[in-house]
Amino acid sequence: MKLQEAVEKIILPDNTYEKKAARRLDEQARPQGSLGMLEETARRLAGIAGTLDVCLNRKVIVTCAGDHGVTAEGVSLFPQEVTAQMVYNFIDGGASINVLGRHAGALVQAADLGVNHEFEPQLPVFHKKIAKGTGNIRREPAMSRDQAVSAIEAGISIVEKLAEDPGVNLLGTGDMGIGNTTPSTAVIAAFSGINVEKLTGRGTGLDDKALAHKIRVITDSLAFHKPDPKDPVGVLAKVGGFEIGGLAGLVIGAAAMGIPVICDGLIATAGALIACEIAPLAKSYLFTSHRSVEAGHRFMIEHLGIQPLLDLGLRLGEGTGAALAMEIMDASTRVLAEIKTFEEVAIKNAQKK
C-alpha cells in the first residue's frame, strides 16, 4: 500500500456507535461522567469498532528502531551502538517493553528502520532498513525525500502484515534510537514555532551544560534547514529519523485499516504528529498513552489535541507507556459493556432530570 493510497483510504469512524456508547454511559447506574477518561476512551473505541462490546484481545506493540547521525554532536550520554544492543534485548524478551507488554497481553515486535547494524535475516524483526542511520541534521538533511516516503511506507507495510490472520485490534507504537529526542524535538519545533529552549528535555539525563549544547544543536539544525510546517514529509526528511517515519506510517496504516492506535512518548508522538499532518483524519484513530516528562511532549499532545491517559513521570520510550495504557483501554471497554444501566437494575428516578 503506497502512502497516498493509505491516506485516501482513511475515513472517519461511523458515529452511530459512538452516540450509542455515549447514551449507554450516561444511563449507567452511577453519576454521569464519574469515570472520566475511561468514558471518553470507551466512546471512541466503540465508534471505531462499531460495537458496544469492544474486544481488544489482539494487541501488538511495534518498537521502531533507527540511528541518528546527530549523535556525533554529543547530544546523548549513550553511544550509538546501544541501539542495536537494545534491539537484541527486545528480541530476547528482556527489555522494559517486553515485561510491560507481557503484562498487558500484547505481542511486542521490533522493527529495524535505520539501525547502524546488520541484523541476521532469520531474526524475528521487521527488516525495513532504509539506511544505516540518518545524516547529521546539524550539517545535512536527515534523509532524502524519497527515503522519508519509504520510511513511512515501511510502517504502513508493517500494519498490513499485522492485519493478516489472526490480525490486530489495538496497535501500540514505541521507539528505540540513541539520540532520537533531538530530531523529535526539532519536529515539534518545526510544526509549532515554539522556542527550542521550551521544548528541549534532558533525554538520557544530560546535565545543564550538555542540555544547553543540545539546544544549540537543535536551533542550528532548524536554522540550517528551515523546514516548512506545511510540508510534513519535508520536515521528516530534513530533521527527522527513519524510525520516526516508520512510526508515522504505523499510525497512517492503522487508520487506513480502521485499527485504533496508541502512541507512546516523545518520539512515538513525533511520528504520530507527522502522520496527522499528512493525513488529518488519522487522528480519529489515535490515542496518546501518557504525558512524558520530556519538555516537548506536552506541546506535542497539545498540538494534537488528544488527552493522554496516564501521567506517571515516564521518559523511557520503547512503547512502555503504550503498554500500560492498553490496560486502561481494556478497562474502558468493560466499563461500557458490563456496567448496568439504571433501567437494567430497576433503579427508578435516579437520573438527573
Cα-based distances in Å from 153 to 6, 88, 115, 230, 333: 9, 24, 17, 20, 31
* Per-residue pLDDT reduced to its tens digit, 157-171: 999 999 999 999 999
pTM (2 decimals)?
0.96
Q: Find, among 241, 244, 182, the residue nearest to 214 by Cα.
A: 182
pLDDT by residue, tens only, the chain of 353 residues: 589 999 999 999 989 999 999 999 999 999 999 999 999 999 999 999 999 999 999 999 999 999 999 999 999 999 999 999 999 999 999 999 999 999 999 999 999 999 999 999 999 999 999 999 999 999 999 999 999 999 999 999 999 999 999 999 999 999 999 999 999 999 999 999 999 999 999 987 899 999 999 999 999 999 999 999 999 999 999 999 999 999 999 999 999 999 999 999 999 999 999 999 999 999 999 999 999 999 999 999 999 999 999 999 999 999 999 999 999 999 999 999 999 999 999 877 665 54
Strands 126-127, 170-176: pairing kind? unpaired
Q: Find, among 278, 229, 291, the residue nearest to 249 by Cα.
A: 278
Q: Would you call 160 a catalytic residue per the annotation? A: no
Please pick, among 39, 294, 318, 327, the residue that the annotation labels catalytic.
318
Architecture of domain 59-329: 3-Layer(aba) Sandwich (3.40)
- d(C-alpha 86, C-alpha 110), whole Å: 10
- d(C-alpha 50, C-alpha 193), whole Å: 38
Q: Which residue ranges make up each domain of the chain?
A: 59-329
303: left (phi over 0), alpha (psi -120 to 50) or beta: alpha
Cα torsion 33, 312, 207, 242: sign: negative
